[in-house]
Amino acid sequence: MGHLRNIEDLLGFLLRRGWLIALCALIAVVLAALYAKARPDNYTAWASIEIQTAQVRVPVVGQPAEANQASGSAQLVQSLQHRLTTRQNLVTIIERHKLFSDLPAMSTEAKVTALRAAIRFDTVEVSGDPAYGQPTQVSAVVISTTFGDADNAARIANDLAQSVVDLSASGQLARARESYTFHSDRLAVLNTEIQAQEAKIISWRNTNAEMLPPVSATRREELTTIETDLRGLDRDLLLVDEERRRISTRETLRPTDRQRLRELDDQTTLIAGQQAALKTRAAGIEAGLAGVAVAERGLADLERDLGQIQRNFDQASDALAEADSQVRLAERQQGERFGILDRAITPEHPDGPRRKMFVAAGAIAGLLGGLILAFLLDLLRPVIRTSAQMERELGLRPIIALPEIHPTGHHKRAGASASG
């Protein structure tokens, strides 16, 4: 830091440039005080709204009642906040309370932006016990308005609070009716899909009747019977061949033997014909059963799709029943209700700007600026002021050190008389 190498140099620097640092701090304090005084006062008013729990709860299938209430309250508060801070609603508030009437040159968009920045919604949450499946619930809403006029701040806060109460009742009924209409339309669509899917299944069954139960099961039983009959014919043929071989091995064939051989030949021809007929029938049945796997898989896919549509239909039916209950509760005002717990009153004292904070910040900024300016002046004009600095900078030890002498007024007057 230039010549500031130790505490002695720093103290000398502060004593030498103290007037400049103090002057900068004084100027900064005066400017900060003027700026803080020129800023308008801000007043904040609060209005509290209590969320009253529903007298009759309609649980959502698959969710606990506490979770339904918590999610419904949070969603309703967010919806109301968005609706109240829309441009159209803010313009209505500005016109109703004649806000910014002292600023005729201010545009409508600037007024809306300023009013939106002055409004704040805070929710008061009640923590549940996670061990018992109790979620965090929204129990109240605090609307705060910060404005340059105390009366307007209170009027705006009360206006918004009353709008929350009014919109909560009408909004619940409108949302319940919209939900009922949505689920009713969805249920009708799903019913149409079920009918169309059932028609597809009937058409598939008619087209592939011979490859689907119960016809396919009858064909399989018939094929099993044919295979059993073929095995029985094979055994009969073996017996006939064995008898023919036994008769043929005799040395002398009697007329009865020859007659028996002719009967065995006829029997063999008959068995062969029966075998051929059964094999032809079996081949036909097997050819018909070749597409059974494809037909059954296609039918299974159609029935699976029908089952999924049916499950969606059941869920939509439960949701429609719930929506119908919500509509009835909203019409009777037995659902969640918003009530004004504490209306905003006109604040007596401003909460801003914090003038002392501005003055303190100006003083700190002035001190820092003065230190920087004084340090820069020392850097622009480096001077060796003490014997320690000369020994440190030049490596020379001075023999004598003359102190800095400031002439007094008496010496100045004596010098002037002598010259005269």
- For the stretch 112-146, pLDDT in tens is 999 999 999 988 876 655 554 555 677 888 999 99
Highest mean pLDDT among 72-76, 330-334, 337-341: 337-341
User: Beta partners for 42?
Assistant: 352
Tell me if 73 sits within 8 A of 124, measured CB to CB: no
Average pLDDT, the chain: 77
The DSSP string of 274-317 is: HHHHHHHHHHHHHHHHTTHHHHHHHHHHHHHHHHHHHHHHHHHH
Cβ-based neighbour number of residue 75 at 10 Å: 12
**End-to-end Cα separation, the chain, in angstroms:** 48
pLDDT higher than threshold 90 for residue 199:
yes
The amino acid at residue 103 is: L
pLDDT top residue among 148 and 66: 148
Tell me if 25 sits within 8 A of 365, measured CB to CB: no
168 Cβ contact partners less than 8 Å away, ≥ 6 residues apart: 76, 80, 336, 337, 338
**For the chain, what are the domain ranges?**
7-39+353-419, 43-190+333-342, 205-312
> Which pLDDT tens digit goes with each residue over 225-281?
888 888 888 888 888 888 888 888 877 778 887 888 888 888 888 888 888 888 888
- Architecture of the domain delimited by 43-190+333-342: 2-Layer Sandwich (3.30)
Where would I find the H helices in 332-354? none
Q: How far apart are CA 234 and CA 126, in angstroms?
A: 88
pLDDT higher than threshold 60 for residue 333:
no
pLDDT top residue among 84 and 397: 84
